[in-house]
Amino acid sequence: MLSNLRIFAVNHKKISSLHINNMYCFRIRASLKRIKPHVPLGKNYSSLPGLIGNDVKSLYSVISPPITKIRNIGIMAHIDAGKTTTTERILYYSGYTRSLGDVDDGDTVTDFMAQERERGITIQSAAVTFDWNGYRINLIDTPGHVDFTLEVERCLRVLDGAVAVFDASAGVEAQTLTVWRQADKHKIPRICFLNKMDKAGASFNYAVESIREKLKAKPLLLQLPIGEAKTFKGVVDVVNKEKLLWNPNSNDGKDFERKPLLEMSDPKLLKEATEARNALIEQIADLDDAFAELVLGEFSENFDLLPAEKLQTAIHRVTLAQTAVPVLCGSALKNKGVQPLLDAITMYLPSPEERSYEFLQWYKGDLCALAFKVLHDKQRGPLVFMRIYSGMIKPQLAIHNINGNCTERISRLLLPFADQHVEIPSLTAGNIALTVGLKHTATGDTIVSSKSSALAAARRAEREGEQKHRQNSETERLLLAGVEIPEPVFFCSIEPPSVAKQPDLDHALKCLQREDPSLKVRLDPDSGQTVLCGMGELHIEIIHDRIKREYGLETYLGPLQVAYRETILNSVCATDTLDRTLGDRRHLVTVELEAKPVETSSVVPVIEYAESVSEDILKGSQEAVENGIHSACLQGPLLGSPIQDVAITLHSLILHPGTSSTMISACVSRCVQKALKKADKQVLEPLMHLEVTVTRDHLSAVLADLAQRRGSVQEIQTRQDNRVVVGFVPLAEIMVGAL
């Protein structure tokens, strides 16, 4: 039955692909979001408070530099490109860990959840604060798995720069495209780090070319590798024409030497570096007018005379303008190339004041911050991560939440270091803070010092910008853009071990939802069951495991089901009348409306009002009308799946005096359902954007299998000796049960 109703996205002209971590939906929106629970596993990453021993820095020693010396960066990449390993090396070389952790051993700093250590993957983003050569760096390690792309999204929202990590043997991969698009969306300057240069099949040129071709970016080669795969032993610094060689006998990579390239000892390397430097100068001159004038005016005869400082300043400007991306290389696992990456972060990525935020002028130095993540700690309660855009945060400070229109008090202020935190007396603009005591603040909320401060800022914004003709324009003007919460693509029922445990389960799900807005929980109206809705099989599996570990509940999950959607293909009109007498009051409503498909993807119905509808009637009944429309679109006429890509136009609304809003909603809802049943309908299903890397011998078998799964092959690429099959496959066909 279902196969007869389903219209496959690959054959339909109106696919709206919403990139969720390589997921394309039949106009279904998906994006992932994940959070970090506090699971103390007893590992000390730094010396005890106040004590500094074994050359390991205490968190209390983290410097508090001016805003120009702050860098807020994220590490983003495809699954298994080496993000967490790179972060681990960064913390070790900056002096904040005693030993080098390993993902396989489950002892890394940022993967502190039990599930992360067992699986060897990053599930939720982790923030660490450290210093490097006089700079404070707030770094966030993000997940690479498709189910947790929303973690990347909400972290990029508050960062000033990012490091994109690539597997040098694979180049740009499926998830790389997704995180790159997310960075483009938030206009984040980036640095590319070609990791795993020691891996068999690693190719610097192939990886750079894939950045150019697939990401449509202009790579600036700041380094060249000395050897590849097994022969990789160091890098050439193109800007300074130096070589960096790591001691093969060193176990931790701290021991390396930097030598200038000389004609006598390294003629071949010197020639390559000179050619690369000249090409770099020409490339930047094409992108930066000020640098072009400098080069043509003083150094046109000999590029070698151009000082490295001038070139570095121009690279910084180009990176900030996002017209090109610096490219570095190394091997985090083999401890090569990480220190130069840290130098590049401080040199080329922007400080908070170099990023332009229009709303800052309205606050005039008053507090303005964005809550971008919430964790639940058993001892401290809710921990809220905030990016401070202006002003200062202190403990015991009363703050105003514009979104929730409530005032709360910060009891403690912490500096984040994965699952260990250090209490601090204050934190200024440009930093990322961890606050304790905010019980109502959620992800995406805008925080200011007081309601009067918000109103004053709104008045300034109104004077400087165009005034919106809506009652709540002042509030909307002040809200910082939060994070788009995606629609789930999987759902299943969840049951407690007994009815007595249902309140405990409800509490656990409420806490997890506050941490992870991509997790949706609803009550099935027919069966009365609690239904979990998530972004993937792993997402729901992790939630189930966390309920067991963190809340001590042995819950039972029903079979996993794909979240289908429904839509209509033609316009239909419907009329309905509801006439009820309750007590001595008569409730009479007559509704006439039209349902029609819309071209643009819209998960919620688009509601329009015809000119014939009286504004006086709408004033008191608009909310009831819209509630009725939304409730009717929750269950479609075919499978009971939500309706999307539909516009509802209200043509007539006739009310008897004294009719309640509940009756209006009921009549509108019934009328919408009547219209949907009359229309031609269609079932929509999520599609996955799939990449399969396979040897030439097994290519035909893979193509045959994809054809069986109703897959649509877009292209077959060549990656060294392998073939990469790129295409779309219905999500239902690649679930674990279907494999």
Beta-sheet pairing, 242-246 with 234-237: antiparallel
Q: What's the token pair of residue 219?
A: 């790579």
Structure tokens at 190: 């980036």
724: closest CA among 734, 732, 733, 714?
714
In contact, 627 and 667? CB cutoff 8 Å:
no
Q: Which residues are annotated as a binding site for GTP?
A: 77-84, 141-145, 195-198
Query: Of how many residues is the chain composed?
Result: 739
> Does residue 380 come out as left (phi exceeding 0), alpha (psi in the -120 to 50 range) or beta?
alpha
If you write DSSP's letter for every residue of 484-539 in order, what string do you get?
Answer: PPPPPSEEEEEE-SSGGGHHHHHHHHHHHHHH-TT-EEEE-TTT--EEEEESSHHH
- Please count the other Cβ atoms lying within 10 Å of the Cβ belonging to residue 323: 15
> H-helix or E-strand containing 427?
strand 427-428
Contact status, residue 226 vs residue 269, Cβ threshold 8 Å:
yes
Round to whole Å and give the CA distance between 620 and 587. Answer: 15
Closest-CA residue to 497 (of 540, 555, 550, 449): 555
User: Is residue 412 within 8 Å of 395, Cβ to Cβ?
Assistant: yes
Cite the annotated binding site by residue number.
Answer: 77-84, 141-145, 195-198
CA distances from 223 to 147, 194, 211, 295 (A): 34, 10, 15, 21
DSSP state of 109: S
Q: Is the dihedral of CA 179, 181, 186, 188 positive or negative?
A: positive
Report the C-alpha gap between 486 and 533 in whole angstroms. 11
On whether the CB atoms of residues 242 and 217 are closer than 8 A, the answer is no
Nearest to 114 by CA among 38, 45, 46, 44: 38
Helices 502-515, 537-551: axis angle to 10 degrees equals 120
8 Å CB contact between 369 and 386: yes
For residue 379, CA distances in Å to 34, 114, 156, 441, 556 come to 21, 18, 29, 18, 28
For residue 259, the one-letter residue type is K
Asked whether the beta carbons of 166 and 77 are under 8 A apart, the reply is yes
Contact predicate 725/694, CB 8 Å = yes
* Secondary structure of residue 617 in the 3-state scheme: helix
| 548 within 8 A of 504, measured Cβ to Cβ | no
Give me the DSSP letters along 199-262. Answer: STT--HHHHHHHHHHHS---EEE-EEEES-GGG--EEEETTTTEEEEE-TT-SSS--EEEEE--
Cross-strand bridge partners of residue 530: 494, 523
DSSP character at residue 171? B
Task: Read off the DSSP letter of residue 442.
Answer: -
Q: How far apart, in whole angstroms, are the C-alpha atoms of residue 155 and residue 555?
A: 31
Give me Rg for the CA atoms of the chain.
28
CA distance 621 to 627: 10
Q: How many CB atoms lie within 10 A of CB 595?
A: 27
**403: nearest Cα among 467, 447, 451:** 447
